[in-house]
Copies of this chain bind each other. A is one copy, B any other.
Amino acid sequence: MTKRPADSANASAPTRQVPMRDFSRSLPMSLLRAREAVMRQFRPKLREHGLTEQQWRILRALASIEAAEVTELARTAFLLGPSLSRILRDLEARNLIERKTAKADQRRSMVSISKEGVKLMASVAPSSEAIYAEITQRFGARKLAELQEMLGQLELCLAFPDAGDDVTDET
């Protein structure tokens, strides 16, 4: 047994100059853990169909918009360009999507979901929706809506530093 720091409560380790918040209670960690808890519900089912989370995001995004430019798709699926580029290459090789360069502007390529992609989506969507329904029921629909509202506000107030957000209860 090596020597322990003065074992008072856990708030005062002598080696630290700057006392930081309890690590596990930081906002990024809370968000990460919550998201992981949610994704853990979906991943096995997606995996059964040979899809990763991101590939599934892309297919879903495409299914709802018919066709889109790569940049637009990146924004919708919340992926960075390079990631999307790789994934589209793979999805195209699997014939789940189709690409054709726009006539008006040769730089842009229009991406759309293929028949096979639609079929795959149809085979996964029911399970996916069932899982989501289960989560909603477990957590509570109202609470879930509340949570999403707060997440949206958080995103907004960080994205636009000048937007005053409707906090009001704090000075």
User: B-contacting residues of A (Cβ < 8 Å)?
Assistant: 2, 4-5, 10, 13, 15-18, 20-42, 53, 57, 60-61, 63-64, 66-67, 76, 78, 113, 118, 121-122, 125-126, 128-129, 132-133, 135, 137-144, 146-148, 150-155, 157-159, 161, 165, 167-170
Which residues of B lie under 8 Å from residue A67 when comparing CB positions? Answer: 2
A139-B157, A148-B27 known; A122 and B17 CB under 8 Å?
yes
A79 vs chain B, min Cβ distance (A): 10
Choice from B10, B17, B37, B64 contacting A154 with Cβ under 8 Å: B37
Choice from B2, B137, B158, B170 contacting A135 with Cβ under 8 Å: B158
Which residues of B lie under 8 Å from residue A157 when comparing CB positions? Answer: 138-139
B141, A168: Cβ atoms closer than 8 Å: yes
Q: List 21 A-B contacts (CB under 8 A).
A: A2-B137, A15-B118, A16-B64, A18-B121, A23-B57, A23-B61, A23-B76, A27-B135, A27-B148, A28-B39, A30-B152, A31-B31, A31-B151, A33-B155, A138-B157, A138-B165, A139-B165, A140-B169, A142-B170, A147-B147, A147-B154
